[in-house]
Amino acid sequence: MRGPSDNADMNPCVGAFRRLTTAPEPRPRGGRAGAAVRAMLGLILLLATLAAWPAGGEMVLDASRTDVDGWPWARILKEGDRPLTADEAFAADAAFGPPPQVHGNLGPHTRALWLRLPLRMAADDPGAWWLDLGFAGVDRVDVYLFEGGRVVQQARVRNTAQFSQKPLRTRSHVLPLGAQGGAQAEAGLGAQRGASQELLMRFESSTALLVPLRFVRPADYLAAESQQQMVQGLITGIWLCLLVYALVQWAALRERMFFDFALSSAAGSIFFLCYFGHGPQHLWGENAWMVGNGWAPAILTMIAANAMFVHDALDVARFEPRLARALRAVAIAAAAAMVAFFAGWIDLRAVAGLASAIGPLPTLLGTAAAVFSMRRGNRAAPFVLAGWGVVLVGTLLMVCMQRGWLPLEFWLEHALQFAMTIEIVLWMFVLAGRVKDVRASEAAARLENGRLHTLAFSDPLTGLLNRRGLYLALEPSLSAALPSGAVAVYLIDLDGFKPINDRFGHDVGDALLIEVGRRLQAQMRGPDLVARMGGDEFVVVIHGIGDDIAAHAAGRRLLAALRGPFAVAGITAQVGATVGYALAPNDACDVSRLLKCADAGMYAGKQAGKNRVVRGAMQPDSPVLTTPDAPRAGSAV
């Protein structure tokens, strides 16, 4: 049985040492010094390799160790067009070669890959071991334990079956090895203590083959796994909180950007739960389809949602139509790939390749869009740019890892997840900015509506209600009017206003009308109204009038308020007024008839000599005036 020490030519560091120390003839200048430097570097590489390379031909599991890296002892064989049986693969010992120097990462392979590892469990080893075969995305692993050239035990793990069928209910592919008890002994590999054996493993995966190949004590595995679970629980909790926030904002504001964010958060959570195996372990372990395929629609949905979030958050269509079309094309491509996957036209391997190709595009296009948007003063653009800068690094690391260019290491394995968590937290500033903009837009709209309402229902000169505003404000009061608490409507026409307007001009006349409105407003209580009907006519509405005597007295107070001189525009002017009034519901119950009644009273007052208060009542042909002492008598002051 050959070990790494028997195959020094398979060690690339040894090969590098040989190449460096057998360099071509030295150059005329500095040749010897260059050769010495190359020899020194080669020696350093060789010593470093020998320090990390196992000394014996087989890996030994003994009582002094709790966590053993099996990667240095492993050798690999790529399966050809015809699948190999375990005996055929075992017999092809000479065809096995060293694994890539990227630790724990065999990269993508369209065909199955065999991995061979010699081991011996020490006779005095007291406890059990667990073999960590690979991350949850590996489709299938067949494990054979050979002793004396024949298979003594075998086991299988896969991610396309129900979670309860796994040998151990762990998120990654783990097999019991050594002294186990109960069901674990039946599902695992009972390696014999003191015997030299070989593990032969056949891997199949539609994505990269990430193979930790760790031999670890159960207690140590569970301790490390508890930290992993805590990290994933914290990250998933952050994503779920942001998902709920985005859905609430979308429901409240109806902004599509919030729905894009929520969809991206949900899809990202599902993808990482599938990728790291926590989803099957805790949520959908008995759904075989989700266990094996759930990550594919999740990552395609995340790509499409990210593209549309970039499109909407930065309003790309408004200032850069070509970028907007490119982002929509990415979203459409991801959606079409999802349809093709569900229709069975493409498989998981094609989805993985497509996701690696178009996955970085929303970030790359979004970075360009953020730069353009930032130049135009978009406050959200710096946060978007910072988030995408982080996630671009994480995406590139993820792609490099899926291509087999980076080793299997905790921070590299979680780089994209950590980067996207930072990104969505930064996106919260974008969402907060959009909420602020929406509220500002609503406030501006309310101000504009208020301005339009003011223009439509108020007099532009005095700021009082106009005819339309008076109708709108008075109608609700009339429906609740009672004879014991009547609503009095006074129509006031100024006496002597036209001569002042003609003599001193319209500026003085306008100033006088404004001052008249102010004096009338000074006589009002909370619910009372003052309106200008046009020209020199004003309407006053007073609520809660007990009887006609009280209404008449209120009219006299209005006349008294207008009797004093007006100092306007540098002159002193004096006008009088004639007041006609009507009561609701006594005289009428609608605004038009009340104004007609009051107009009839005002007209009668003009005929009777002006400067008086008269109650009017409408008759079929002509107004009938009443006296102050009788229910329908006219009265004058």
User: Averaging pLDDT over each range in 35-44, 108-117, 155-164, 428-437, which range is the top one?
Assistant: 108-117
**pLDDT at res. 376:** 75
Q: How confident is the model at residue 164 (pLDDT cuts 50, 70, 90)?
A: confident
Closest CA to 307 of 337, 333, 272: 333
Higher pLDDT, residue 407 or 431: 407
Q: Which pLDDT tens digit goes with each residue over 113-153?
A: 999 999 988 888 877 889 998 777 788 899 999 988 899 88
Q: What is the DSSP string of 331-366?
A: HHHHHHHHHHHHHTSS-HHHHHHHHHHHTTHHHHHH
Place of tokens 């406030």: 443
Q: Which pLDDT tens digit goes with each residue over 261-292?
A: 899 889 999 999 988 888 988 899 888 889 88
User: Averaging pLDDT over each range in 261-275, 365-379, 442-456, which range is the top one?
Assistant: 261-275
Q: Is the whole-model pTM more than 0.85?
A: no
Closest CA to 202 of 276, 129, 117: 117
Q: Which pLDDT tens digit goes with each residue over 603-614?
A: 999 898 888 999
- In this predicted structure, the answer to whether residue 635 has a pLDDT above a threshold of 50 is no
Place of tokens 């890296």: 69
Closest CA to 362 of 268, 286, 500: 268
Closest CA to 137 of 335, 278, 264: 278
- In this predicted structure, the answer to whether residue 364 has a pLDDT above a threshold of 70 is yes
**pLDDT at res. 50:** 41
- In this predicted structure, the answer to whether residue 178 has a pLDDT above a threshold of 80 is no
**pLDDT at res. 443:** 81
**pLDDT at res. 622:** 39
Among the ranges given (244-258, 281-295, 375-389, 577-591), the one the predictor scored with the smallest mean pLDDT:
375-389
Q: How confident is the model at residue 8 (pLDDT cuts 50, 70, 90)?
A: very low
What is the C-alpha end-to-end distance of the chain, expressed in Å? 130
Q: Which pLDDT tens digit goes with each residue over 581-604?
A: 999 888 888 888 999 999 999 999
The DSSP letter of residue 238 is: H
At position 96, the amino acid (one-letter code) is F
538: helix, strand or coil: strand
**pLDDT at res. 581:** 94
| Whole-number Å distance between alpha carbons of 496 and 636 | 18
Burial grade of 313 (CB within 10 A; 0-12, 13-18, 19 or more) = buried
**pLDDT at res. 440:** 79
**pLDDT at res. 258:** 87
Q: Which pLDDT tens digit goes with each residue over 182-203?
A: 444 445 576 677 778 899 999 9
Residue 321: is the preceding peptide bond cis (ω within 30°)?
no
Q: Which pLDDT tens digit goes with each residue over 31-53?
A: 555 555 455 545 544 444 444 44
**pLDDT at res. 182:** 42
**pLDDT at res. 56:** 43
Query: Residue 150's beta-bridge partner residues?
Result: 147
- In this predicted structure, the answer to whether residue 534 has a pLDDT above a threshold of 90 is no
Instruction: Look at phi and psi of residue 333 and say left if phi exceeds 0, alpha if psi is from -120 to 50, else beta.
Output: alpha
Q: What is the DSSP string of 359-382?
A: TTHHHHHHHHHHHHHHHTT-TTHH
Q: Which pLDDT tens digit goes with each residue over 461-510?
A: 888 988 888 888 888 888 777 877 888 999 999 998 888 888 888 888 99
The mean of the pLDDT values for the chain is: 81
Collect contacts of 252-258 with beta carbons under 8 A, ≥24 apart: 253/435, 253/438, 255/312, 255/434, 255/438, 256/308, 256/312, 257/309, 257/312, 257/313, 257/431, 257/434, 258/431, 258/434
At position 434, the amino acid (one-letter code) is R
- In this predicted structure, the answer to whether residue 320 has a pLDDT above a threshold of 50 is yes
Backbone angles phi, psi at 625, to 5 degrees: -100, 145
Quick count: other Cβ atoms within 10 Å of Cβ 398?
Answer: 26
Query: How much is the average pLDDT of 310-331?
Result: 87
**pLDDT at res. 187:** 54
The DSSP letter of residue 191 is: P
